[in-house]
Amino acid sequence: MKRLLTMGLTACALAGLAGCATKFPPAPESAGNPEYSYVIGPGDSINIVVWRNPELSMSVPVRPDGKITTPLVEDLPAAGRDSSTLAREIEKALGKYIRDPVVTVIVTGFVGTSSLQVKVVGEAARPQVLQYKKDMSLLDVMIAVGGITDYADGNSAVLLRTSEGNKQYTVRLKDLVKRGDVSANVEIRPGDVLIVPQGWF
């Protein structure tokens, strides 16, 4: 991914497109983030409690295919559902074997679906995938990845917003991280991809 980013920026420079990486509008400080509700994703750990049936209560991982398996319930889709919805579906499946099951689902290990993850690529100190958290900001992301490298062109970074059809915005990472300019801090949305280009020296 880093090599592709570098190649893309090189192509822009060779084409003589000055400011190639900064042709996008600045990211909005607030996009009116709707109410956020966590949904289960592959890799999550969930604790299933079946009232008065301890032999059916256990902690299980969500498999890479998004399904779970518990006693009496095989291959039940879990990814993309919130904990309450999954609990009702487990109750329905268990209802074939026990009378009026009462199920509680507690998510104990969070990975989340890909659409809820925030990805950071390029010249971040530690490029990685982060789990989105409610009211997450660009500063939160920068702290999590350890800032930017000495080779980064921080003020030409691009925020790709998948929730808006891959619309791209310019963000000022250098001003935020190196100069402490809080006006450069913007809201992060689920699914955002932060691309930090390399500077040209």
Q: What is the pLDDT of residues 155-191, one digit of tens each?
A: 999 999 999 999 999 999 999 999 999 999 999 999 9
Q: Which amino acid is at 55?
A: E
Task: State which of 109, 126, 159 marks the end of a domain.
Answer: 109
The tally of domains found in the chain comes to 2
Domain final residue pick, 109, 128, 144: 109
170 sits in which H/E element: strand 167-171
97 lies in the same domain as 126:
no
124/137 same-domain check:
yes
Residue span of the structural domain in which 75 resides: 45-109
Q: What confidence tens digit (pLDDT) does each residue in 115-152 have?
A: 889 999 999 999 999 999 989 999 999 999 999 999 99
The answer to whether residue 167 sits within a structural domain is yes
Rounded to the nearest 5 percent, the helix, strand and coil shares of the chain are 30, 30, 45
129, 183: one domain: yes
Instruction: Specify whether 103 is located in the same domain as 71.
Output: yes
